[in-house]
Structures are given as C-alpha cells and as structure tokens.
Amino acid sequence: MLAEIVAAGSEMLTPFRQDTNSLYLSAELNDLGVQVAFKTIVGDSLAHLTGAAKNALSRADIVIFSGGLGPTEDDLTREAVAATLGLELHRDNTIITALYKRFAARRIPMPPNNAKQADILDGATMLPNSQGSAPGQFLEVAYEGKRRIVILLPGPPKELKALFAEEVKPRLAAILPPAFLARRELRMALIPESTVDARTAPIYQRYAAVETTILATNGEIQLHFQCAKPTLAEAQARVDALAEEIEQEMQDDIFSSTGEALEGVVLLMLGLRHLSLATAESCTGGLLAERLTAIPGSSRYFLGGAVVYADALKTVFADVPAAVIEREGPVSEAVASALAAGIRARTGASIGIGITGIAGPGGGTGADAGKPLGLVYIGLADAAGVRVRELQLMGDRERIRWWATQHALEILRRHLL
Amino acid sequence: MLAEIVAAGSEMLTPFRQDTNSLYLSAELNDLGVQVAFKTIVGDSLAHLTGAAKNALSRADIVIFSGGLGPTEDDLTREAVAATLGLELHRDNTIITALYKRFAARRIPMPPNNAKQADILDGATMLPNSQGSAPGQFLEVAYEGKRRIVILLPGPPKELKALFAEEVKPRLAAILPPAFLARRELRMALIPESTVDARTAPIYQRYAAVETTILATNGEIQLHFQCAKPTLAEAQARVDALAEEIEQEMQDDIFSSTGEALEGVVLLMLGLRHLSLATAESCTGGLLAERLTAIPGSSRYFLGGAVVYADALKTVFADVPAAVIEREGPVSEAVASALAAGIRARTGASIGIGITGIAGPGGGTGADAGKPLGLVYIGLADAAGVRVRELQLMGDRERIRWWATQHALEILRRHLL
C-alpha cells in the first residue's frame, strides 16, 4: 500500500518555507502500515496541480492533498482533483450555514468567496474541521481501473493534524488491512556516525523486517527502528529484539532507549541520585541552562546559574579570581575549573559546571591571543573536587556553542553513571 | 523558465528527515530568474525514480536531481535518468583514476562498487565534486520535442552547494537569458499577520512585478520581496520603491529593513547609544541570554546575567528580597521589577532586564497558586527607574518561553528608539 502526499502552495516553492505537514502525515501513515512513496510540492496553478494529481493517482494507492482548500482564488485543490477525476463539485448547504455562523460569531459579514470552501466532490465524504473553516474531504474512487483513496486536507498544520487524527485515521484504519507498527529509538551522543554504523550494521542487517534509519545531527546519533506486522506483539517483539542486541553492543554509549533528550536523561539521573546542578557559562551564553530548563520539571534538579560573558561577571557571579583570568586568559583550564567550583559554592548545588571557550567568529584575543577558534574547557565540580576537559571543536559559532553544551551534558551523564 | 527539483532518497520519506537542499537551490535558481514550479521527493526505487524523471522532464525546462549518485545499490539516479532519456552510461576513466587516488590517500583499498560513481550519461558534462567523491552531471537534451536542461547533483548539502556554485550556476547563467533578481526583506515583531497584511496588501498588490511573501513565525512577521528584471538596477528600483512605501506605512513597527535578527538590531542599538545590558531570567531559563550571545560580537554590549530558576538564586544573584518573593510570589510584578533592578546593580550594566513567568506545563503553584499558565512579567531597569510589563501568553512551554524573550527584546528595542 503506497501513499503520495501532494502539498499545494506556491510559498513552499520559495527559498523561505518548507512543507512540514508531510513529516506528521508520514508517521501517521506508517502507523497504519502504509509507506509514503512520493511527495510532490506544487504551486497554486490549476494546470500544475491537475498534472500533479494525475501523476499521483496513477502511481499511489492513497493520495493525500494538503493545502489549497481556503477561500481565495489561489485555492485550487478541489477544482484540480475534480478535473482529474472527471467529477463535479456540489455546494454543501450545511457547510455554508456553518460558515455564516462562524463569521456571525465574529460579527463580520462573510465575504462571498468563502462559499467556495463548501464545494464538495461528488461522492466524497465531507470531513468537519474542528480548528478552522475549510472542511476536508475523503473519497474512494477508481482511477485508470485501480482503486484509489483520495483525501483533501487544509494546509495549516493545526487544522491538518486535528482533521487527520479525528476524521481520516479512523476511516483509513477501517478500510486498510490491519497493520501494527512498532517503533523504537536508541540515542547516542558524540560518537561518529561511521563508528555507530560499523558496529550496528552487522546486527540490524539481520533484521530484514525492521526498517532501520540512522540519523546524525548536532552531536547526536539516533537509531530509529520500525516494523509493521499483522499483530502489534509480533512487530514489537522484532523491534525489541533488535534494540536489545544493539544495546548489548553499544552499552553505556546509549543514553536513551526510549527517545528522551540528553538533557532530560541527565535531569532524570540527577533526580534519582538526589543531586542538584548549577551552571556558569561563558562562550555558550546560557544555551546549556536554556536546554535544561526547556525540560518540564527541570526546576527540581537544576537551580540555575550565571551567564558570565563579560570577564568581570566571572568574578561577580562565580568568584573566579581576577588575577587568574588575567594570568591564564578567560579561556583556560584554570578559569573553567574556578567557574565550576565557584558556581557550585555560590548556589549550594551538588554539582557545578563551568564552560569557557572561543566560539568565534575569530580566534582568541587579549589574554587569549593565539588560542584557536573552537577551543573549549568544561569544568565539573562536585564534593570530590573539580575535573576539566579540554576540547577542540570544529565549525562555526552556532555549531561550537551547541557541541560545547552537548559535551557538557555527556560529561555530566557519564559522571552520573 | 520553470524548474523542478527531484530529491532522491528513501530517508526523506520517513517521519525523521526532510529535503533541505531545495531551499538553497530555489534561492539560487531565483537568482537566475528561474522559478521552481515543482519539487518531488522519491525513494531509492528505479521504477519510482524513472517515473519521477519522466514527469519532471515532461513539465519543467530545468530538472535538477539531488542525491542517489553514491556507490551503493540504492544509488540509482544515473540509471533512472539514462532510462528516461534513452541514453547509455559510459564509465569515465579520469573519474576512476581520481577515485583510486582518493582511497589511496586514505590508505584504504577501493571497494569495487565505487566505480559506479564514474558512470556518465552520454553527452553529459562531468562536473567535478570538490567536496566528495560523486561527480555531478550537466546535460542539454531534447525530450518529447522540447529543450531540457538536466542536472545531477550529489545529496550531501556541502557537496551539492559547492557543485552548484562552482559548476552549475556559471553554466546556467551562460545559457539562460540574463535576469537579475533583487531581494529585500522587512521584519516586524509581535504584530498579527492579518494586521500586517491588511495594512500592506493595498501597497504590494500595486507592484505586480514584485513577488511578495509574508511569513509569520515565532512572533515575527517577515515580508520578502523579490523581483527579476533584465537589469539589476531595474529590479532593485522596483523592490526598493515597494519597501519604502511599506516602511512609510508601518514606521517603527519595522525593526529591520535588511534582514537582521531582532536580537542583532537590539545589540546594534545598544552599541550606538554606548549602553550595556544584563539579564536575570527565571521562566525563560537563559533563552534570552542565549539569543543575544548567538550574535557574533554581542560581548561588547551584553555583559551576561543570571538564570535564577530556583527562588533562592533570585536573591543570591539579583538581590530580590526573600520576603518579596514570599509575599508576592516568584511570578509577580514586584519580583520582575526587583530582578531587573538587581541584575543591573550587580553587573553595573546600563540596562537590566528581569523575566519571571509561568511557562508550564501547569499553572502557578505555592506562592503563585491560582496564577494562570502563560502569565509573564518583564521588567526593564535603567537609570530612570524600572517599568514592568504584564503579559498573558498562549501555547505550550516552548512557545511561552520563546514569546517571552521576543517581548523582552521588542520592549527593549522600543525603549531604545
């Protein structure tokens, strides 16, 4: 069972905006045992949309159109699908009434072009939109002698998601042969993708029924496993067996076997050990604190910290002696160590982390002259003392800052193991 | 002149990964006066790729394939294009030699499947890849009686971009009629998209030659203008005239007329006025500091600050009296005011900003019991005193945190005007 997603909208052909609905739709279709085989993005032109609809209907069993259902002249999906299938559109009075009510509730007269949204393909089921004005449509047809399912959804993600979940998924589940999809995700930090692949490929290649995807981004490797079987137990058993073998191979390199973020895992470990954390950040400028506090409930274990961008603040907030900064330079092992110990003492946290480094664009200046771009020191202080790790990171400012926080979290995680 | 981008790779049909090369390619093609009319994403199947190639060649003047040029069995773009055009592939000895050298330099024997990368379409120009092993290809052909330009590029973004810039763009520029693209971008913060559209549409609709795109994301409205003309001066004049009319209409609501980020504009304004800034963040947990320090050179005007997630740290780092926190609750006008004044005094900055709020998931607890999710107070302190703004933000934790920092930056920008 193959699906195609056709996203209509000229804005998605500019350099500024992308179709994102298809990621959500792919996950939902996979859940139903359906693979997405094609995605097409097409502008608001009747000829182009009709051509895209023909191609899609000739090659995919399920065709989902997103966008182009609004009230404007540019909204042409209904017309294109009708032309492709040789069907008429009829105006649905229930929808017209609902539209009038919607506008009346906002005390605005309804502009007449809105009535377009009530045009339904002959034979289609109208799918009410709980989040907006344009309804969706669901239609089973024969096209070139083949059975096709055609679905029209509005483009705004909130509307599309609600409509798919409430109206489309139950209908597809009723029609399609039962398929159950099991998923697992293992995550590792700061290991080269090629290393992970070399060690895990001999394992996952033995599991033909499980689809394995390796993603490497931002200092993290994700292994996604997905398996569709007629029963969930069967699918889950395959995926779990594979995940277990890979966990045996990669051991503590795996920080999450259920998809949690690295910062979430670290907070969980702090909680289990009844420990608290504080941070003093120079080059990362608050990014580590921001990542930790993005996790709901982080306040129980993360107290806060300081962004000590200016050298004077390293002394004001973390008691780093000005003489040390002057002698060793702000980017130095000594300053990272003093930041970690100082922020720990100031805040009363069990663990203090200090980060200092050169995020660029240029290399070190002043007391740091001669030190290279990407040089980062990460200090970790606890009751037993302070350790500092020296890193040489690659890339631009954004990448160096991100990787520095990624290393800090991974150092902390391994410390807590 | 219409283009289609065909991205080959099954991973881009999963819920986990998207084609991103097309954004870069769209911008570059627009530069040459070429509009992208279609994007197709297709998996690593010879039948599917061949079908996609046929569709693309029948409807677009320029077809760019990205991906599927590597050495594995799944890399089938060359074969699919050859089959579609009825051309043979020939193995290029220069490339074979280069591949052997590449592996020899890494002291690895070349696996034989790598030779595939040397297969060139009859009649195509081989485009050397400065960043990787798979070369690109460039071909002018007739397809169904129409002239077509076919371009094959490797999928990894670094390789694709280098190849396009070095090898493809000059070739396309030499073939295509000269077209010059002028672009402008105006940005506004925290104004509803519908308000911006209602006030600007009557203006931009009068400029038929300028393509206008409105993007609304994360509390920011961007107006993108783009105009292609036979001379750059002509294109620029249109775009500038439109931008100027819209600047007259929206006045100070526009924070950038050249595409800078809001945080960059604020830092620039601080610099022009010889002012410095420090922040004390509770619910935003360092996000404001992180956004400011993401801008290169921010250290000159942004000193740093404190992440005062735990209540005790509000006192430790910003001298907020514990009695005030207890009496008013941590999420209160009084605490926001004290945070702003306290961080200013502690750091010696000209301006202090304090943020406290309820980012969720739940509403206020303890001394904040009864206060709603999304309630945020932003304090701004300078020599003249402290002002506090109360906000009621909508959405989830991530959105509330982001919008709180967006409001803080916009409050600061309007203060500095």
pLDDT of B142-170, one tens digit each?
Answer: 999 999 999 999 999 999 999 999 999 99
How close, in Å, is residue B405 to chain A by CA atoms? 12
Subunit contact B304:A317, Cβ cutoff 8 A: yes
- Most A CBs within 10 A among B13, B29, B221, B314, hence the mutation to make, goes to B13
Alpha helical stretches, state H, B182-231: 193-204
- Most B CBs within 10 A among A6, A11, A13, A301, hence the mutation to make, goes to A13
Q: What per-residue string of b and e applies to B282-318 under the rule 16 or more CB within 10 Å gives b? A: bbbbbbbbbbbbbbeebbebbbbbbbbbbbbbbbbbb
SS3 label, residue A261? coil
pLDDT on residue B393: 94
Subunit contact A285:B285, Cβ cutoff 8 A: no
Residues of A with CB below 8 A from B224's CB?
A: 14, 16
Contact A155, A9 (CB under 8 A): yes
Dihedral pair phi/psi, residue B95, rounded to 5°: -70, -40
Residues of A with CB below 8 A from B12's CB?
A: 39
Written as one string, the DSSP assignment of A45-64 is -HHHHHHHHHHHHHH-SEEE
Dist CA B22 CA A14 (whole Å) = 9
Written as one string, the DSSP assignment of A277-321 is EEEEESTTTTHHHHHHHTSTTGGGTEEEEEE--SHHHHHHHH---
Tokens of A165: 């979940």
> Which residues does residue B283 pair with via DSSP β-bridges, in sequence order?
none
> Is CATH 3.30.210.10 the right assignment for the domain spanning B182-256?
no
Residues of A with CB below 8 A from B298's CB?
A: 285, 309
> Where are the domains positioned within chain B?
2-175, 182-256, 262-416
Dist CA A53 CA B364 (whole Å) = 51
Subunit contact A397:B42, Cβ cutoff 8 A: no
3-state SS of chain A: helix, strand, coil percent to 5?
45, 25, 30
Dist CA B209 CA B229 (whole Å) = 9
Instruction: Report the share of chain B in percent with pLDDT over 90.
Output: 79
Identity of the residue in A15, A18, A306 whose CB atom sits nearest the CB atom of B18:
A18
Subunit contact B213:A308, Cβ cutoff 8 A: no
A336: closest CA among A293, A283, A267?
A283
Tokens of B157: 């973004």
Subunit contact A310:B286, Cβ cutoff 8 A: no
Dist CA B69 CA B85 (whole Å) = 17
pLDDT on residue A99: 87
Search chain B and give the residue with CA nearest A10. B37
Residues of B with CB below 8 A from A56's CB?
A: none
Residue with tokens 């925290």, as numbered in its chain:
B190
Subunit contact B316:A347, Cβ cutoff 8 A: yes
Alpha helical stretches, state H, A186-278: 193-204, 232-250, 262-272
Subunit contact A224:B313, Cβ cutoff 8 A: no
- Most A CBs within 10 A among B307, B308, B316, hence the mutation to make, goes to B307
Subunit contact B307:A286, Cβ cutoff 8 A: yes
Dist CA B413 CA B187 (whole Å) = 13
Superfamily of segment(s) B262-416: CinA-like (3.90.950.20)
Residues of B with CB below 8 A from A309's CB?
A: 289, 293, 298-299, 302-304
Sort A369 into a burial class: Cβ within 10 Å, 0-12 / 13-18 / 19+.
exposed
Dihedral pair phi/psi, residue B85, rounded to 5°: -90, -5
Subunit contact B38:A38, Cβ cutoff 8 A: no
Identity of the residue in A41, A293, A348 whose CB atom sits nearest the CB atom of B285:
A293
Residue B72: count other Cβ atoms within 10 Å of its Cβ.
12
Tokens of A75: 């909204």
> Is CATH 3.30.70.2860 the right assignment for the domain spanning A180-256?
yes
Search chain A and give the residue with CA nearest B280. A306
Identity of the residue in A37, A294, A304 whose CB atom sits nearest the CB atom of B313:
A304
Tokens of A242: 């594979």
- Most A CBs within 10 A among B4, B39, B193, hence the mutation to make, goes to B39
Subunit contact A310:B293, Cβ cutoff 8 A: no
Subunit contact A294:B398, Cβ cutoff 8 A: yes
How close, in Å, is residue B127 to chain A by CA atoms? 24
Dist CA B259 CA A350 (whole Å) = 44
pLDDT on residue B192: 82
Tokens of B247: 């600047």
Residues of B with CB below 8 A from A289's CB?
A: 285-286, 289-290, 307, 309
Subunit contact B304:A307, Cβ cutoff 8 A: yes
How close, in Å, is residue B259 to chain A by CA atoms? 13
Search chain B and give the residue with CA nearest A13. B36
Dist CA B377 CA B357 (whole Å) = 6
SS3 label, residue B355? strand
Tokens of A391: 């890193």
B410: closest CA among B254, B302, B293?
B254
Strands A277-281 and A254-256, by their bridges, are unpaired
> Which residues does residue A224 pair with via DSSP β-bridges, in sequence order?
A185, A213
Subunit contact B309:A287, Cβ cutoff 8 A: no
Subunit contact A299:B310, Cβ cutoff 8 A: yes
Q: Report which secondary-structure segment, H or E, holds B228.
A: strand B220-229
- Mean pLDDT per 10-residue interval, chain B, length 417 residues: 95 90 96 93 96 97 96 91 97 91 84 88 95 93 96 94 97 91 93 86 93 86 89 93 97 94 97 97 98 94 96 97 97 98 98 96 90 97 98 93 98 97
> Which one-letter DSSP state was computed for residue B298?
G
CATH code reported for the domain at A2-175: 3.40.980.10
SS3 label, residue B257? coil
Tokens of B67: 């991906």
Contact A399, A393 (CB under 8 A): yes
Tokens of B14: 């999963």
B39: closest CA among B72, B6, B69, B83?
B6
Dist CA A333 CA A351 (whole Å) = 18
How close, in Å, is residue B211 to chain A by CA atoms? 10
Search chain B and give the residue with CA nearest A54. B55
Search chain B and give the residue with CA nearest A21. B15
Residue with tokens 């991103």, as numbered in its chain:
B20
Name residues whose C-beta falls within 8 Å of residue A180's C-beta, 6 or more positions apart in sequence: A33, A228, A229, A230, A231, A232, A234, A235
Written as one string, the DSSP assignment of A63-102 is EEEES--SSSTT--HHHHHHHHHT--EEE-HHHHHHHHHH
Q: Which amino acid is at B226?
A: Q
Residue with tokens 């961080």, as numbered in its chain:
B343
Identity of the residue in A24, A55, A213 whose CB atom sits nearest the CB atom of B14:
A213
Identity of the residue in B215, B308, B347 whose CB atom sits nearest the CB atom of A304:
B308
- Sign of the Cα torsion A126, A128, A134, A140 reads negative
Interface size between A and B, measured as CB pairs under 8 A: 216
pLDDT on residue B108: 79
Dist CA A125 CA A143 (whole Å) = 18
Subunit contact B299:A305, Cβ cutoff 8 A: no
Residues of A with CB below 8 A from B26's CB?
A: 13-15
Subunit contact B347:A310, Cβ cutoff 8 A: yes
- Taking the CA atoms of residue A172, residue A174, residue A175 and residue A178 in that order, the dihedral angle to the nearest 10 degrees is 90
How close, in Å, is residue B142 to chain A by CA atoms? 21
Q: Which amino acid is at B409?
A: L
SS3 label, residue A136? strand
pLDDT tens string, chain A, 417 residues long: the values are 899 999 999 889 998 889 999 999 999 999 898 999 999 999 999 999 999 999 999 999 999 999 999 888 889 999 999 999 999 999 999 999 988 888 888 887 888 888 889 999 999 999 999 888 889 999 999 999 999 999 999 999 999 999 999 999 999 999 998 888 888 999 999 988 888 888 999 999 999 999 888 888 889 999 999 898 888 899 999 999 999 999 999 999 999 998 899 999 999 999 999 999 999 999 999 999 999 999 999 989 999 999 999 999 999 999 999 999 999 999 999 999 999 999 999 999 999 999 999 998 889 988 999 999 999 999 999 999 999 999 999 889 999 999 999 999 999 999 999
pLDDT on residue A60: 97
Residues of B with CB below 8 A from A400's CB?
A: none
How close, in Å, is residue A17 to chain B by CA atoms? 8
The overall average pLDDT reported for chain A is: 94
Half-sphere exposure for A60 (CA within 13 Å, toward CB): 28
Identity of the residue in A48, A224, A285 whose CB atom sits nearest the CB atom of B293:
A285
Identity of the residue in A18, A279, A397 whose CB atom sits nearest the CB atom of B23:
A18
Residue B234: count other Cβ atoms within 10 Å of its Cβ.
15
